[in-house]
Amino acid sequence: MKLPNNLFSASLCLPDNAMAFRIAREIREAAPDLAVMETHDYDFNPIAFADSGGCEVVLRDDAYGHWSASWYDDNVEMRPQSAAVDVHWRGEIFTLVTVKLGECGRIWYIVGKDIVSCERFFAAVCHWNTDARGVIMVFEHGFFHRDEGLREEIRERKLADLTLPDETRRLLQADVLDFFSQEEWYRSMGIPWKRGIILHGPPGNGKTQTIRAIVNELNVATIYVRSLSGHRVSPEQALQRIFHRARQNAPCVVVMEDVDSLIRETYRSFFLNELDGIRNLHGVMTIVSTNHLERLDVAIRDRPNRFDVKIEFPNPNAQLRAEYLVEPLYLRKLDRQFAGTVLRRTRGLSFAGLQEVVRSTTARHMRVMDLRVAIDQTLESMGRPVAVPEKKVKKSKKKSGSK
């Protein structure tokens, strides 16, 4: 098949529908004996499929191709704007022609020996792109994409490595980590096998780190929702796509961090319908986080069977502060009175604040040999005054016989 040299240049000035029609006609005239299949489906991503080793892409030189480069995760990625390529897949050769529409829309034309072959290749690419098992699918700007960087980042995360209260750790084990092994029990009790989890508390206390450890330890399909807005995709359509993909890949975890800013009032009811609507979320766990539980709508926060498990991540108490600081600040080597003063001066700090105490103290200790001085300077710079122990008030003893 020989494509016209001006296949794209003669069409790009036309409106989208006219451009799609003209290019389809040009392809059919160039290959009258071959089948042509057209798709706008966002699940069809043959370039990513080729990057994963699913097929081989060979550039064509008969029609001028327009490609753009982007820098992503320390690699150069080439993506077609308007281009034609040959694809080798399972002993068959297809020609793919693509044109970008607007900011996010795209048309693909699959040219093959017959329509059945084209449909098989189309299905293989879409199946690969929608299969979230063993990977992390990120949804943003209206589309899904696999995030290998995020997958690699959380690969070594474990709850055992986090400083958490014993009760929080117990809840995470019983209500989160054990959930996907309890399908038979849910079925025997006639209860829908789904779960909603809210992690809440002040920022900097480990909600994000806990979510990543959960995702790593559960090792099921995961969908991370970063945004619901996108070009030509409404928030309602985005939510529909997200939970449809979750049902397809169950058992599956859907993660929505900072849900109070993600779910707006205008489409909150659609979100709630997806959670408990006609299409059951069998085998789907939805984990959301918020810094302000009180700001969540009561329909999300308090309605039964939506988010029944709420786990608080408060600022660490004295025991947790001691566990976190004892090793990096060498508190055991300091006298007990000074160590107690450090714990009092860090009261009210989040784990992120404690991390800053460790980082700044370590940097200062390289210049100031006295560790106590380095700790004191760090706490002063953070506005943590010297804590004065509360005086115990002596209770006066009543004299016998007095009223």
Q: Is the pLDDT of residue 395 over 80?
A: no
Average pLDDT for 245-262: 94
Give the model's pLDDT for residue 402. 45
- For the chain, which residues make up each domain, given as ranges? 16-130, 148-312, 318-381
Pair 245, 157: CB distance under 8 Å: no
Q: 312-338: per-residue pLDDT in tens?
A: 999 999 999 999 998 888 888 888 888
d(CA 94, CA 111): 6
Tokens at residue 244, please?
């449809």
More confident residue, 101 or 224: 224
Give the model's pLDDT for residue 390. 44
| Length, in residues, of the chain | 403
Distances from the Cα of 81 to the Cαs of 95, 184, 366, in angstroms?
16, 49, 53
Q: Is the pLDDT of residue 398 over 70?
A: no
Query: Average pLDDT over the chain, rounded to whole?
Result: 89
Q: 297-307: per-residue pLDDT in tens?
A: 999 999 888 99
Give the model's pLDDT for residue 134. 80
Give the model's pLDDT for residue 98. 94
Q: For 261, phi and psi rounded to 5 degrees?
A: -95, -20
Q: 134-191: per-residue pLDDT in tens?
A: 889 999 988 888 888 888 889 889 999 998 999 999 999 999 999 999 999 999 999 9
Residue 325 CA, distance from chain mean position: 30
Average pLDDT for 366-374: 87
Q: For 231, phi and psi rounded to 5 degrees?
A: -65, 120
Give the model's pLDDT for residue 403. 41
Average pLDDT for 62-87: 84
Model confidence band, residue 394 (pLDDT cutoffs 50, 70, 90): low
Average pLDDT for 25-38: 94
Strand ranges in 201-251 using DSSP code E only, listed in sequence order: 221-225
Give the model's pLDDT for residue 230. 76
Model confidence band, residue 37 (pLDDT cutoffs 50, 70, 90): very high
CATH no. for 148-312: 3.40.50.300
Average pLDDT for 233-251: 93
Model confidence band, residue 237 (pLDDT cutoffs 50, 70, 90): very high
Model confidence band, residue 278 (pLDDT cutoffs 50, 70, 90): low
Pair 223, 255: CB distance under 8 Å: yes
User: What element of type H or E holds 153?
Assistant: helix 148-153
Model confidence band, residue 77 (pLDDT cutoffs 50, 70, 90): confident
Among candidates 327, 241, 244, 321, which has minimal Cα distance to 284? 244
Q: Is the pLDDT of residue 389 over 70?
A: no
% of the chain residues with pLDDT over 90: 62
% of the chain residues with pLDDT over 70: 94
Residues linked to residue 198 through DSSP beta bridges, in sequence order: 288, 310
